[in-house]
Every structure is written in structure tokens, then in C-alpha cells.
Amino acid sequence: MITHWIIGPGAIGRLLAHSLAPLAEVVVIGRRALPAQQLLTTPESEQRAQHLNMVTLAELASEAHEQPAFVHITTKAMAAEAALENLKNVIAPTTPLVLWQNGFLAQPRINQSWSGPVLCSTTTEGAYLTGNDGVVHAGHGHTYIGDLKNQHGALAETVVQMLTQAGLAATKVDDIRNRLWQKLAVNAAINPLVALHGVRNGALGNAPYSGQVAAVVKEIAAIMSAESILPPAGEHGVDAWLALVWQVVENTANNKASMLQDVEAKRATERGAILGPLIENAQHHGLACEVLQNLNGKLAALEAGYLH
């Protein structure tokens, strides 16, 4: 049996652990101790209790462990590099990584610094935690796996087959960079506005928010064009990006977006991984990004009010 290490016992990390555990050795690594007896509620409302090997970083450093075949990093975007740093003395430098972060910050950085293969994923699996011992798989989604330089297609295919066997639909792709940016573009249009206004996604369709969505998408579309990233439907221009954003707003109208959940729970948001790369690219290409900077500044001020 091959061994998967999953660092970051959040909703996606635990969903992955529950799914892979019947097929492989799974070790779930976190900063604090969590119960080994874990409960998964499936999208069909079935409950599955499973004993998972949950270890803390401290335990990992002090005990001998079999080397993992794959390390999945499932932390929030801004914690991914630190998570890997914590493992550097414990795993072989050739260990394949699978990154599950939002945005486009951790992926290029880790891709550059890690000597082993680095796969990236983007997923629409829906999951949320219900405490220290429970995760709800709220809805089936799809996971795309690839690497930024298209050098590890066979490895990506291996991961895809393992995920598929584990019940998580997945496809190997050779355009993961585009897909990560497309998801980032949609996230940047929705997440900061709903987090700042404290509204569910559907509210963005109404005044005064709809005009703010159009203003942010205008800047995003210009940056995407400079980076040669097209919307998934393949059409060009701001209208195509706007149509995509409105489609996601409609499909997720009742959602409390992840950034709003972070703000409500007084956690750091993923603004650095979502707005950061857009602002950096706009500056690099000499493009306007006042709207994006303004959103970033307001989120930074909001976070400063509760993060110590």
C-alpha cells in the first residue's frame, strides 16, 4: 500500500483522507491534536465513521515514519509554504507534492523551490467541517490535476486514477495554470465584495453591488488578457469574464463565500493569494488596478481589526 500524507486537516484535507483511507495508508498532519475517530457525512447524507491516523507536527518530528509516496498540502493558501517548511527535514526532497490551494501564490513559489515534482489541483468538491471530528461532503464536484510546466503528466495521471478510485472525480489536464487563474479571476470578483459587505453571493446581482462587480471584472479582464488567460468558454474580453462571474453568482447564490466565512470567524483571508497576484501582474503590465487595490486595502484594514 502506498502512503499519502495530508498536511492541513481542514475540510478538503479531511475529505481527501476519508476518501483515500480505504485504499492507501493515510497520515493526516496538523498543528494540534485531533480525534482519530472521524465522521464523514456524504452528499447522500450517509454517515461513515473512520479511524484516521491524525498526527501533530511535533509527533511527526519525534517519531519514525514510512516515507510518503505523495504529500498533499491542503492548508489555506498563505499557510502552504510554512507547512512545507515544517516537513522539509522529514521527507525526501524528491517527494511528489500535490497542492490544493486557491489563488496563484503558493503554487509558483513552491514549484520553484521544491526539487521534487509539484502537482497543482483545482477542485469544485464542496465540503465543510462540523468540529474536530466531522466533515460534511456537501456536494460532488470535479478535480483537475496538472503541473505548471507539463513535465509530470504520468504522475498527474496516477493521482487522478487514485482520486477516481477513491470516489472523487478527477481529470489530468495540461492547462492547470489557466484553470488556476480562471478560478482566481472568479474568486477575486466575488469573494472580496461579499466579505466586505457581509452578503451572500446572490446579493451581488443587485444594486449597488452589481456595478462594483462590473468595475472589478473590468480590471481583472485586462490583466487576464495581458497574461493570455481566456475564460473557460474560450470567448474574449470583459463581457465573457462578466458572463462567467454572473453564472457563478447565480449557481452559488445562497453560498456564504469562503472569504466571508473567514471574516465572520475572524480568520486571515486569502486576499494575498487571490488579489495579490492580480495586483502584481497589473503593475508588471502597467495596467490599472485601483479597484483591486482598494478592495485589498479595505480587507487588510478589516483583518487588522481582529487579527493580533
Answer for the pair 180, 143: CB distance below 8 angstroms, yes or no.
Answer: no
The one catalytic residue in 76, 88, 183, 256 is 183
Q: How near is the Cβ of 47 to ligand KPL at its closest, in Å?
A: 25
Report the run of H or E that residue 134 belongs to, with start and end.
strand 134-139
By CB neighbour count within 10 A (0-12 exposed, 13-18 middle, 19+ buried), where does 190 fall?
Answer: buried
Q: Output 55 or 204, the one with its CB closest to ligand KPL.
A: 204
Q: How near is the Cβ of 255 to ligand KPL at its closest, in Å?
A: 4
Query: Given candidates 84, 90, 168, 186, which one binds ligand KPL under the rule CB under 6 A?
Result: 186
* The one segment of 18-26, 185-193, 204-212, 277-285 that binds ligand KPL by CB under 6 A: 185-193
Of 215, 189, 190, the residue nearest 201 (C-alpha): 190
Over the range 151-170, which residues count as b (16 or more CB within 10 Å of their CB) and which as e?
Answer: ebeebbebbbebbeebebeb
149 is catalytic: no
Q: How near is the Cβ of 102 to ligand KPL at its closest, in Å?
A: 7
Site membership for ligand KPL, residue 7 (CB under 6 A): no
> Scanning residues 106 to 165, which ones bind ligand KPL (CB under 6 A)?
none
Report the relative pairing of strands 170-172 and 143-146 from DSSP bridges. parallel
Q: What is the DSSP annotation of 265-302? A: TT---SHHHHHHHHHHHHHHHT---HHHHHHHHHHHHH
Q: Cell numbers at residue 160, please?
A: 487522478
Query: Given candidates 121, 258, 281, 296, which one binds ligand KPL under the rule CB under 6 A?
Result: 258
Binding to ligand KPL by CB under 6 A, coded x per residue (else -) over 187-216, reads x--xx---------x---------------
Q: How near is the Cβ of 189 to ligand KPL at its closest, in Å?
A: 8
Q: Cell numbers at residue 264, please?
A: 465572520
Site membership for ligand KPL, residue 252 (CB under 6 A): yes
Size of the chain in residues: 308
Q: How near is the Cβ of 249 to ligand KPL at its closest, in Å?
A: 8
- Binding residues for ligand KPL, rule: CB under 6 A, are 186-187, 190-191, 201, 248, 252, 255, 257-258
Looking at the annotation, which residues are catalytic? 183
